[in-house]
A and B are shown apart, each in its own frame.
Chain A
Amino acid sequence: MQRYRITLALFVLFLIEGTILKWLMPPMWQSAVLVAPHPVLMGVVLIALFKSRHQALGYGLAFGFLQDFIYYGHALGVYSFSMGLVGYIIGNVFRGAPLGIVFSLTAASFGSFAYDSLVYAIYRFFLGVVQVDYRWIFFHEILPSLLLNALIALVLYMPARKWLERDDASREQAES
């Protein structure tokens, strides 16, 4: 039951990502600096924190692949690989950490940073479709995106915590 709900929520985030968010951001953010909102990735990071790293890996792979499909530009698999890997790593690194808001936001910022860097690395070194150097892309894309994504994670934090944790608690009660 919960699995369907998470999938549906991530799917709605995915739809919003490519349509509404583009229109809500001022044009300056898409020309002077390249801000990239990743609500789906933030969802995956929260799943990695509140559920398990394996689930984060699964959702990351699936929704990354959806993004690969819908915006098929250069090659398939780039976003799927990055999102799955980032979800898994976050789940691993923050496994024992307390689930407070500070840790969650740190995890979200780190996730956004890792994801953008990974996508850049694949495009630059493996596929050869991007030619700018890392320093430029860091200041123009990765850093501003990180801030916006931390904001998105902040918005998603409360509902995610309520949903994902309550179900855990009820399951533990049922088990004991």
Chain B
Amino acid sequence: MAGVIFFVALMGLSLGRFGSMSIPEGFVKDSVTWLQGWLNRPARAVAGFFEDMRRLSVVYEENRQLKLTLTQYAKDTARLNDLEAQNKRLKEALGFTERQQQANQYKYRIAEVYAASPDPLNNTIVINLGEKDGIKANMAVMSIEGLVGRVVKVSPFYSNVQLLTELDSNEAKAIAVTVKGRENESFGILEGYDREKGLLIMNKIPKTDPMKVGDVVVTSGMGQLFPRGIEIGEIVSRDEGEFGITHTALVRPFASFNHLHEVFVIEVPEL
């Protein structure tokens, strides 16, 4: 009985506490995660080897594709330089304030995934960047495919990342999003994850919003916490919400949430 009371109190008190850990917490976590990282590398190498074997037949085709892409890339680079110069000129002409320029200089920090929670109801991964590397709670985390999650707990050398699949919990914070290409017209809030279908739920879309199925959803940066323009997923359906005042859409995330190798933590410079 005393045990039950103790655990109820512990769970209640620790629910939704974000930020850095206390010293003993940090010490235990850092030392165990160090060992996990040490184990994870050979495991990944073995898994990677089998994957390579399977892919051997695909490599030839891939190589040809890559060569094609490379020429395309060279072309694009030239175009990019041109556009960049133009963009710079226009920006200066517009007289962007120092503040806005600052706000878009995000730093992408690459991090390795050292361990992942074995319980499917608690989708947390541990990465090898921590307080000493300047990581703070609430930073956005993405893979090359798209937004993956958010830093929730930081210890001196490692930190815990809560994946987007935990969005339907009460204490996870919602994410303000918009549609790529129409950043100023569309608006919505990602605040749920449907485990049964594997789709994210976007709420609070104005009725007059032009967004439609197939649009790419990106972060809007309105919360000032997440940078703007990170791709999240693609809209697969849209219908009237619970109360009929706003619309609700379902979004298929681009990123896969298992077998993550490396992720990027995005640092937003302090204003």
- Mark A residues whose CB is within 8 Å of B: 15-24, 27, 30-31, 34-38, 66-67, 69-81, 84, 119-120, 122-123, 126-132, 136, 141
Contacts and interface: CB of A to CB of B under 8 A. Distances in A.
B197 to A, nearest CB: 10
Given A18-B117, A19-B39, A130-B169, 8 more contacts: A22-B259, A24-B43, A76-B10, A78-B122, A81-B3, A123-B122, A126-B8, A126-B11
A103 to B, nearest CB: 26
A69 B27 CA distance: 11
A73 B115 contact: no
Interface in B90-118: 114-118
B11 A66 contact: no
B168 A73 contact: no
A37 B4 CA distance: 26
A63 B268 CA distance: 37
Contacts of B40: 19-20, 23
B116 A36 contact: no
Question: Interface residues of A: mostly helix, strand, loop or mixed?
Answer: helix
A17 B258 CA distance: 14
Given A22-B116, A73-B162, A77-B10, A127 B15 contact: yes
A72 B124 contact: yes
Question: Interface residues of B: mostly helix, strand, loop or mixed?
Answer: mixed
A21 B4 CA distance: 31
B218 interface: no
Contact of B36 (A18, A27, A84, A128): A18
Contact of A128 (B29, B152, B170): B170
Interface residues of B, number: 52
Interface in B1-20: 3-4, 7-8, 10-12, 14-16
Given A74-B15, A123-B121, A128 B169 contact: yes
Nearest to A79: B119
A18 B115 contact: yes
Nearest to B114: A19
A74 B121 CA distance: 10
Contact of B14 (A30, A35, A77): A77
Contacts of A15: 32, 35-36, 39
A78 B4 CA distance: 11
Nearest to B120: A34
Given A19-B115, A20-B43, A130 B126 contact: no
Nearest to B35: A15
Contacts of B7: 77, 80-81
B143 to A, nearest CB: 14
B248 interface: no
A23 B259 CA distance: 7
B36 A22 contact: no
Contact of B258 (A18, A19, A22, A84): A22
Contacts of B44: 23
Contacts of B36: 15, 18-19, 70
A66 B40 CA distance: 18
Nearest to A126: B11
A71 B124 contact: yes
